[in-house]
Structures are given as structure tokens and as C-alpha cells.
Chain A
Amino acid sequence: MTRVGLIRLVVIAALIGALELACRTGLIDHRIIIAPSEMASALWTLLASGSLDADIARTLGLIGLVTALSIVLGFAAGVAIHALPRLREALDPFFATYYAVPVFIFYPVLIAIFGLTLMPIVLIGVSTAIVAMIIATLNGLDRVPRVLGKVARVHRLGRIATALQLQLPAAAPYLFTGIKLAVSYGFIAVIAAEFILSPAGLGRDIADAYADFNNRRMYALILFLLVVATLVNAVLHSLDMRFAARRSGGRA
């Protein structure tokens, strides 16, 4: 482990330890926050009982679906917009200000149209995550060196071969940034949408536990989502570092 990584770990351990101490000594009221060790114990009990299985499958499945749709559709839209400069010029201001608009304001409208089904969550999730992927695709394609186009023609590559063998690998670091953002936005959007108004899912579970003053269950679920989100991001970060190291010869 690097020195920086060790410092990071010590800081996190110190914060958890301080919270544990504050909760155990009564400095923080247990009706507000429970001790981290209690959160872990409650989570273990919940997971062992199997009562969370359906909600976990539903929420993580939705996050997977939203992320996959955002990545595939965002990439396709990015490629199409990149090929149409005038359309891009027209859309650029929307992309620049997109995240200043809270798309969640449309959630009630979507429920009114589609009812309490999965569709409003998927639509809110995709509309939150897709623009990050579109912007990343545009950035990536903008940064493909022009000379690669000439190299492709010297090697008599067709359009598809040029895209797959030269443009895609050249744009890959930016596309991967888009994938990481799409995953993060997918998590946020699905949990938040479930939290607001949904008949099931982990977000709904947290909202119910909160309404019932069931702190053990609420913090156990929060801990579960924190762990899953951290693990997914750690895996993506590690892949990103591995690719970057390949390109920079181990200097990433």
C-alpha cells in the first residue's frame, strides 16, 4: 500500500473510531445516530435473515439497467451528435447547463403518466446519467488525434474498422470517465427515486425505517449502500488506473 493510501485509511478509521466513541459515551444521542459497530451488526442480521434479498435484487438490478442504458444510449447519442456539428452547436448550451436543472422535478409527472411502476425510476435514472456519457463521448471523440484519421486511410481501413480499431481505443480514457459518472449518477438517481415514491427497493426501505424511527434498520441499509457504492467505485477506479498505467507505461 502506498503512503497516501495508508494515510487515507488512517483518516477513515479515525473518523469511524471517533463516531463509535461519541455514540458509546452518549456524546451523540442514539436516537440520532447509532454506533458504527451497531450498524454493522444490524446489517449482518438483516442480510443473514434474507429479508432484504428481494429489495437488494430490485435496487441493484435497476441501477444496473439504468447504467447500462445510459452508457449504450449515451455513447450512441454522443457519436451521432459528434457527426452532426450543427446539431452539436445547438445542443451545447443544454449540455453545459443540464446538471443545473433538477430532473427530479419531473418525477411526479412520470408517475402520473406511468403509475408506480419501474418505468419512472428508469426514466429518471437514465435522464440523470445519460448526459454525462454523451459529454464524455463528445470529449473523447474531440481528442482523437486527427493524424489517426490519415493513418487509417493509409492502411485503407473502412469507417467501421477506423472507429473500432483507432478512434475507440484513442477515446477510451474519456469514455471510461463517462462510464464511471454514469454508474455514480445511476446509483444516486435510483436510490433517490425509490426514496421519494416507490412501492419497494432499498430507497423505499430506508424511507420507511426513517418514518418508523427504526434507526438500526435505517443505518444498516445506509451502510449497505455505502459499502456497495464504494466497492463498485473502487473496482472502476482500479480498472481505470490499470488502463492508464498501460498507456503511460506504469507511470499513472
Chain B
Amino acid sequence: MNAAPVQRDVHAELKGVTRIYSAVPGAGAKLPVPALGPIDLDLVRGEFFAVVGPSGCGKSTFLEVLAGLQKPSAGSVSFEGKPVSGQVPEGIGVVFQEDASFPWLTVWDNVAFGLRRNGVAAPEMRRRVEDALAFMGLKDFARAFPSQLSGGMRQRVCIARTLVLQPRLILLDEPFGALDAQTRLLMGDEVLRLWRRTGATVLLITHALDEAAMLADRIGAMSARPGRFIEVIATGWPRERDSTIVGAAAFGEITGRLWERLRGESLKALGHSDVAALAAE
């Protein structure tokens, strides 16, 4: 199913994208493994798009192809009208699920890493780092090392490290996957704040239906592997929103609809093909 854009200010575009992993002799995979697609999707400038789907359906592969970390096997990806293939373009920032903070650097130096690499002048670097630290609530931990912080705070360090580079497209690969439910809700509020302030386009990969329903303008529900969009749901939330919307009636409707679409796919992903067929009926 094609994901129709809300409006035509397309920021990133995927056309007929597939990703097939080649067979690796001795690694158990005797045949090529289709992991993704075909995918057709337009990301609209400034929108918050979430992708949900069963485990192993290719969500992270989708993000990595869009980021330029993997080359698509077929189809094309473009960002701001320029093709993306095998190299991450300037303007794209990625936050990963795993803790990607640098344990040998302080929080301040972690956040400044990309700016130093880009040769940003010291006063400008200081301003941007301190701004990002304040925005992410890390100002009092600037001189701390990541090992002194909780998992949620380390993930905030990684978000701040992305934020200082002022990306126009922010890709979040299950950044709160390892956090407890309450912390995830609060981190969701922070991501919404960040999204509103930066005006960036945000793409969030998540396995949590409630997280997707709370954060996104549009939610792409992905099939079991190879992942395709089986439905794209527009949530209709106002831009000014926070985690209190989980109490709204529409929130329950959205999560219910997502689960209705994904239950059969999740069963397929678990290998229960008979049950999945029944669920589809």
C-alpha cells in the first residue's frame, strides 16, 4: 500500500525501495533474505512520522536505508531532492536504540563531538552545546561521564549530540526501547518539545503502539518481513501536544486500529501462520 502524503512539500522520498540481504555461506542463510519492501513513502517537511511493526519486520533496515547507512537493493531514496545511497547526507541526524554515548568523554565533550569535527568556532560551539544541554536537562551534568548517568540520561546525551548539529531530518531508531514505561512517556514529551522547537522532520521507529500514537502526525504500520506499509494512519493531533493525550478517546481508537492491523502480522512474525490467517479473517 502506498503512503499518500498529507501535503506536497516532500522532504524525503522512497520509491520502490527494497532491501535484500545476500546469502552468507556458513551463516545459516542459504538463500537471499528479503528484509524490506517494496516501500513507497513521502516524508513531508516538518512532520512527525512513526513506524510500527512486528519484531524483525525491517523497521531498522528501513531507517538505515533512509539514512544512507545501507544501500537499497532496488528503488531510490532522496533527501531534499538529492539521491541518498550508502552515505549519510549532511542534514540527517540519527539516534540509535543502543547506548551510543562515548564513555571516555564527558557529557559536554560528547555533545560537542560533531561540532569539533565540523570545525565550528569555539564561542559558537560553546553556545550551541550549552543550549542543547539546557534543552535536554543536562546542564548540571556537563562534567559528568556517561557511566554516571541513567540509561535515559545517556540517551538524552545522544539526542543532544544530534541536536547541536541542527539536523533537518531526525531519525530515531527505538531510542527509548530500553527505558521503563513512565520514563518513555516523559522522554516522548521531550522529543515533542524538540520537534516543535527545531522544526525538523522526525521519523521514529518504535515497537510501542502507544508511543507511536502519542507522538506522531502519521503512523506507518509495517507488515511482517519483508516490511511493507500496510496502512498509514493520520492521527490528527494538534502540533502543541504532550503525553496527557494518552487519556483522550482518540488515542485509544488509534492504538486499537493499529493493533487491529498489526495483530495478524505479529503472529506471522512469531511463526503462527495458521493463527495469522484466522486473525486476518
Residues of A within 8 A of B (CB): 145-148, 150-151, 153-157, 161, 165-166, 169-170, 172, 246-251
User: 16 additional contacts, CB 8 Å, given A146-B98, A153-B88, A170-B102?
Assistant: A145-B99, A147-B96, A148-B102, A150-B96, A150-B100, A153-B69, A153-B87, A154-B93, A154-B94, A155-B117, A169-B104, A246-B104, A247-B145, A248-B145, A248-B148, A251-B147
B114 on interface, CB distance cutoff 8 Å:
yes
Instruction: Decide if A169 touches B88 in the complex (CB within 8 Å).
Output: no
Instruction: Decide if B104 touches A249 in the complex (CB within 8 Å).
Output: no
Q: Report the count of interface residues on B (CB-CB < 8 A).
A: 24
Contacts of B100 in A (CB 8 A): 145, 147-148, 150-151
Residues 148-159 of chain B, each 1 if its beta carbon lies under 8 Å from chain A, else 0: 100000000000
Contacts of B114 in A (CB 8 A): 155
Q: Which of A148, A153, A157, A169 contacts B117 (CB 8 A)?
A: A157
Q: Shortest distance in angstroms between B160's beta carbon and chain A's nearest beta carbon?
A: 14
Residues 92-114 of chain B, each 1 if its beta carbon lies under 8 Å from chain A, else 0: 11101011101110000000011
The CA of A129 and the CA of B87, in the complex, are separated in Å by 41
Q: Which of B88, B93, B113, B148 contacts A249 (CB 8 A)?
A: B148
The CA of A129 and the CA of B243, in the complex, are separated in Å by 59
Instruction: Decide if A249 touches B147 in the complex (CB within 8 Å).
Output: yes
B23 on interface, CB distance cutoff 8 Å:
no
Q: Shortest distance in angstroms between A248's beta carbon and chain B's nearest beta carbon?
A: 5
B216 on interface, CB distance cutoff 8 Å:
no
Contacts of A251 in B (CB 8 A): 147-148
Contacts between the two chains (Cβ within 8 Å), count: 59
**Known contacts A169-B104, A247-B104: A156-B87 contact under CB 8 Å:** yes
Q: Shortest distance in angstroms between B37's beta carbon and chain A's nearest beta carbon?
A: 21
The CA of A238 and the CA of B229, in the complex, are separated in Å by 56
Instruction: Decide if A156 touches B96 in the complex (CB within 8 Å).
Output: no
Instruction: Decide if B148 touches A150 in the complex (CB within 8 Å).
Output: no
Instruction: Decide if A156 touches B104 in the complex (CB within 8 Å).
Output: no
Q: Which of B92, B93, B102 contacts A166 (CB 8 A)?
A: B102
Residues 118-146 of chain B, each 1 if its beta carbon lies under 8 Å from chain A, else 0: 00000000000000000000000000110
B67 on interface, CB distance cutoff 8 Å:
yes
Contacts of B88 in A (CB 8 A): 153-154, 156
The CA of A145 and the CA of B102, in the complex, are separated in Å by 10
Instruction: Decide if B145 touches A249 in the complex (CB within 8 Å).
Output: yes
Contacts of B92 in A (CB 8 A): 154
Contacts of A157 in B (CB 8 A): 117
* Residue from B92, B98, B104, B144 whose CB has the most chain A CB atoms within 10 Å: B104
**Known contacts A169-B104, A247-B104: A155-B113 contact under CB 8 Å:** yes
Instruction: Decide if B67 touches A154 in the complex (CB within 8 Å).
Output: yes
